[in-house]
Amino acid sequence: MKAEEALRFHNQVCFPLYAAANAVVRAYRPLLQDLDLTYLQYMTLMLLWEHKQMSVKALGQQMSLDSGTLTPLLKRLESKGLVSRARDTEDERVRLIAVTPAGMALRNKAKNIPGQLACSLGVDAAQAETIKHTCEQLLAVLADEQA
């Protein structure tokens, strides 16, 4: 592609990705309002529902986020009573984030959210799998380059 063409807005490959990611967060917002959670808080809890307890680092690796984002987010979840933030007695540098009973209880209220969102997306199962796979691949390549 000519340099001229490559600088045209509508030829950008990644901007639709960027805009779609924002649109997804917008689509989740009304569904999560009942739970008083943001999208990122919801995704964090989803990890903790499965693992019960994780370090900040482990959360960051799963979500491709650093402590600058996670520390304040986890403090907000703590202030809502959904997680605890204890130091690991084995290694005092590590914060172990654990889901509380109240946080675990939210899982039931969240059960119908994936279904509701799937309806909004307007993509079929095959397209959903393509999005997921392509983005995971993109992510893997870009994550690799940082290292």
- Footprint of its own copies (CB under 8 A): 1, 3, 6-9, 12-27, 39, 43, 46-47, 49-50, 62-64, 107, 110-112, 114-115, 117, 120-123, 127-132, 134-139, 141-143, 145-146
Q: How far is the CB of 49 from its own copies (least distance, A)?
A: 7
- What, of its own copies, DNA, none, does residue 80 touch, CB below 5 to 8 Å by kind? none
Please identify, using beta-carbon distances, which residue of 22 and 108 lies nearer to DNA: 22
Q: Which of residues 3-32 bind DNA (CB under 7 A)?
A: 18, 22-23, 25-26, 29
- Burial of 37 (C-beta count, 10 Å sphere; 0-12/13-18/19+): buried
Two tokens at 107?
A: 């899982």
**Three-class DSSP category at 2:** coil
Structure tokens at 52: 């019960």
The helix (H) or strand (E) run that includes residue 138 is helix 125-146
